[in-house]
Amino acid sequence: MGAEAVTHHPAVLLVPFPAQGHVTPMLQLARALAAHGVAATVAVPDFIHRRISGGGCAGAGVALASIPSGIEDGSGPDANPGFAAIVHAMEHHMPAHLERMLAGPPPSRRGPAVACVVVDVLASWAVPVAARCGVPAAGFWPAMLASYRVVAAIPELIERGLISESGTPISSSESTDDDAMIRGLKILPAQVELRAGELPWLVGDPATQRSRFAFWLQTLHRARGFRWVLVNSFPGEAGADDVVRRLARQGPQVLPVGPALLPGGLGGAAAERTKQQPPPCCGNNNDDDKNPSMWRADSTCISWLDAQRAGSVVYVSFGSWVGSIGPDKVRELALGLEATGRPFLWALKRDPSWRAGLPEGFADRAAAGGRGKVVDWAPQEDVLRHAAVGCYLTHCGWNSTLEAVRHGVRLLCYPVSGDQFINCAYITGPWGIGLRLAAGVTRGDVRDGIGRVMDEGGEGKRLREKVRALRERVVAAEARRAADRSVGSFVDEIRRESHPLLMQIHSVL
């Protein structure tokens, strides 16, 4: 056999941070890479692998591999290990297993050694492992580019005396206006209003904040080893081009790839290659756009929505990762939903800490009247694409935001932690596709906020027009092609990097 007859499928191992909001976009990235001829394997901790493996395939050309974590599912199938337990597993238990994976053939397939490890920035534990094995590492930021810019600016903020060594904002002696201080940093566009207390590492009580900030400092130190960072961002993000140029001067090459990760998001050439010559693994199937979920969705949601009027339903979900918003706020939210008189679908984990504060008999009253439905977990993509949904009351997680934009759903924002405040600032600022609830959220706030978002003649109409316009920019063919070119450029570089290995394979043949 001649060298020209060999098709080179570079093998890439992708390592997400073990949370649904990180695993989902990493699987989408793996599919985009597979469409360019990459043999992609997504390696997840065993407790996640047990939940999402199903038939063992995550889409055409994508395999799943399990990394022993030492974490037991002792609290039930829907339990979420705490942040500290996950960090301990990533730092002390999983590296040796990943090193064995990199030392041999890619998991679940025969073929060449791994040419590149794509590491979720929050899973930076894998970077030194890749370095020990002599494998190039690329970063993947599953959130918007703006939040990456804020995190990447941490050393600059410390150096300028704007935040302390533990990450807390330091007020200027000339001004007590912390909000003005944040705007003056010029990290984000001027029209994006971010408060000092909303920096993404300010999570929990002071001790928790110190611990999280130490995690971020370690992450940034390791991120210096990235040669590329792929970002789940899109052309509609205000100021994105300026941010890319600024980051390019400071470190790795930044490649926005967001539209290529959307279902059906492959650009022409990549899509054609996938049809003609899928890379080895699972072959093609009809469920490539379906992302395996760590949580069991209530299948009755869609039939309930089918019985509602178009645009009449308020969908409520605060994601799966952050903790409860607290019993007082849960109670006010429930009573506010009742006060609207509108039908609602509320995805609320059946966990005492999440449901504490729910008025007694609330779910039964709503169900008996046929006006409301409370479920443990909803099939969110199917819910948001349903014609009955007119408003999404959200925590502003990035995946949720993208899904709402893609399906043209107006937003009522209640950010809780992390990058959600940055996402909210874009939603309510330059994009103008949603409104924000007050931090102290009362039933009146909820009732009035929903009324404003769903007002078909005034503010609600403006929001609907804005979200439709943003949707067109995000899912437009040109945006998808540009993102696909970024993916293709990354794959071409991987191929060039692994070319000596390819020549060795050819010489044997």
Strands (E), 156-252: 228-231
Rounded-to-integer distance, Cα 80 and Cα 82, Å: 6
Q: What sections of 295-377 are H helices per DSSP?
A: 301-306, 327-340, 352-355, 362-368
Burial classification of residue 296, based on how many CB atoms lie within 10 Å of its CB (0-12 exposed, 13-18 middle, 19 or more buried): exposed
CA distances from 94 to 42, 87, 123 (A): 14, 10, 11
Rounded-to-integer distance, Cα 410 and Cα 417, Å: 21
Q: Are strands 228-231 and 137-141 parallel, antiparallel or unpaired?
A: parallel
Could you tell me the strand order of the sheet in which 389-394 lies?
A: 372-375, 344-347, 313-317, 389-394, 411-413, 434-436
List the domains of the chain with CATH numbers. Answer: 3-145+224-293+476-508 (3.40.50.2000), 301-473 (3.40.50.2000)
Rounded-to-integer distance, Cα 416 and Cα 395, Å: 6
The tens place of each residue's pLDDT in the chain, 509 residues long, gives 344 334 467 899 999 999 888 999 999 999 999 999 999 999 999 988 888 866 444 666 799 999 999 887 655 555 667 888 899 999 999 999 999 999 865 555 555 679 999 999 999 999 999 999 999 999 999 999 999 989 988 988 888 888 888 898 887 655 555 565 566 567 788 788 888 888 999 888 888 888 889 999 999 999 988 989 999 998 667 565 666 666 656 668 889 999 999 876 544 444 444 444 444 444 433 344 556 666 688 889 999 999 999 999 999 998 876 667 889 999 999 999 999 999 999 999 888 888 888 999 898 988 887 889 999 999 999 999 999 999 999 999 999 999 999 999 999 999 998 899 999 999 999 999 999 998 888 999 999 999 999 998 889 999 999 999 999 988 888 889 999 999 999 999 988 876 554 434 333 32
Given a contact cutoff of 8 angstroms between Cβ atoms, the answer to whether 130 and 113 are in contact is: no
Angle at 168 between CA 215 and CA 187, to 5 degrees: 85
Rounded-to-integer distance, Cα 254 and Cα 273, Å: 25
